[in-house]
Amino acid sequence: MITVAVPDQAVSDALGDLGEDTRVIVWNPTTTEVPADERERVTMVCIPHYSGGRTMYGRIAECPSVRVIQIPSAGYEHAVPFVPPGVALANARGLHDSRVAEYAILLPLASLRDFPAVVRAQDRREWNPNYDAPNLADKRALVVGYGSIGAAIGTRLRAMEVHVEGVATTARLADDGTHVHAVGDLPHLLPQADVVFLVTPHNEHTDKMVDAAFLASMPDGALLVNVGRGKCVDQDALLAELATGRLRAALDVTDPEPLPADHPLWSAPGTIIAPHVAGVTSLTDRRYVEIVKRQVAAIRTGDDPFNFVMLGAFPA
């Protein structure tokens, strides 16, 4: 019997009947210990958003039959140090593509068309049109991190008549026809980019990759959009550029998070800050439900987990 633990009843209800050989229980390892009568039976654990750490993964490690941990995010670097030995970690790659891409488009539109000023004028009940705000069409966009989310952003940008090129670890022609360059080509690509989208995970290779040299290579008036990870940007270097007014930024992620109330980034010129909401999807979403169902099917047939990213090696 396959036993799938989900964090709340709403997720259980959304999953429905998974078959005679599968049962669903409600257990949130973030807040409670595993029920004693389920400890030996749990096969797969679905954890909620914004959860993790030694305590939670330690609770999961107490379940000797657990085979898969399903996290709700595409990024998984936060989980790597805690996954119990021999347990497979699966991410939610594909779940957030449309949602993040929508937000990634919203940010440059809001920045370029000066929408924050429109909202503030409305609060003051002022009719204050800006007829000179630039549009997104005909701009040259560089999507750094051209994976599934990057490709979803690219699709939407092309529909808006934006020229799109991508950057990834290695050069290739993407399935959608986008020319994807190697990351080493960035110094030659950045001077031509009107808008740079950052969609990268945070790791040793991307830590502060957007540094002073990266930003200096961007042309005057360019816009940096970050829907990846805050730690991929050298915040001090970004603040220095923003202070001059040479560049603009639209950020869904920052370093640190939450951004302290006295942080200078809040008042940096030409900056929009969102509280890391681009990719948060309800776990009752049909796409998440489909991921869990595919995961159960993989367990049932003995296949590798769907969206498998790593096998745990660290005591929780």
SS (H, E, C) the chain: CEEEEECCHHHHHHHCCCCCCEEEEECCCCCCCCCCCCCCCCCEEECCCCCCCHHHHHHHHCCCCCCEEECCCCCCCCCCCCCCCCCEEECCCCCCHHHHHHHHHHHHHHHHCCHHHHHHHHHCCCCCCCCCCCCCCCCEEEEECCCHHHHHHHHHHHHCCCEEEEEECCCEECCCCCEEEEHHHHHHHHHHCCEEEECCCCCCCCCCCECHHHHHHCCCCCEEEECCCHHHECHHHHHHHHHHCCCEEEECCCCCCCCCCCCHHHHCCCEEECCCCCCCCCCCCHHHHHHHHHHHHHHHHCCCCCCEEEECCCCC
Mean pLDDT is lowest, of 3-7, 217-221, 308-312, for 308-312
pLDDT of 193 above 80: yes
Q: Which residue ranges form the domains of the chain, and what is each CATH number? A: 2-95+281-311 (3.40.50.720), 97-273 (3.40.50.720)
Residue 297, pLDDT above cutoff 90:
yes
| Structure token digits, residue 247 | 């560049």
pLDDT, residue 279, reads 86
Question: What integer pLDDT is reported at residue 316 of this predicted model?
Answer: 54
**Residue 313 predicted with pLDDT over 80:** no
Greater model confidence, 279 or 83: 83
Q: Give residue 270's pLDDT.
A: 96
pLDDT at 206 over 70: yes
| pLDDT tens digits along 110-133 | 999 999 999 999 999 999 999 999
Stretch 218-232: mean pLDDT: 97
Residue 27 has pLDDT above 60, yes or no: yes
- pLDDT, residue 315, reads 61
Q: Is the pLDDT of residue 86 over 90?
A: yes
Q: Quick one: average pLDDT of 238-262?
A: 97
CA distance 92 to 68: 13
Give the pLDDT of residue 314.
Answer: 61
Are the beta carbons of 41 and 3 closer than 8 angstroms?
yes
**The token pair that represents 142 in the structure block:** 């560089």
Cα–Cα distance for residue pair 251/281, rounded to 1 Å: 19
- On the question of pLDDT at 216 being above 70, the answer is yes
- Residue 5 CA to residue 67 CA, distance in Å, equals 12
pLDDT at 267: 97
Name the band, by pLDDT with cuts 50, 70 and 90, for residue 280: confident
Query: pTM score, two decimals?
Result: 0.88
Residue count (the chain): 316
> Which of 179-183, 235-239, 278-282 is predicted with the least confidence, judged by mean pLDDT?
278-282
Q: pLDDT averaged over the chain?
A: 95
Share above pLDDT 90 across residues of the chain, in percent, rounded to a whole number = 90
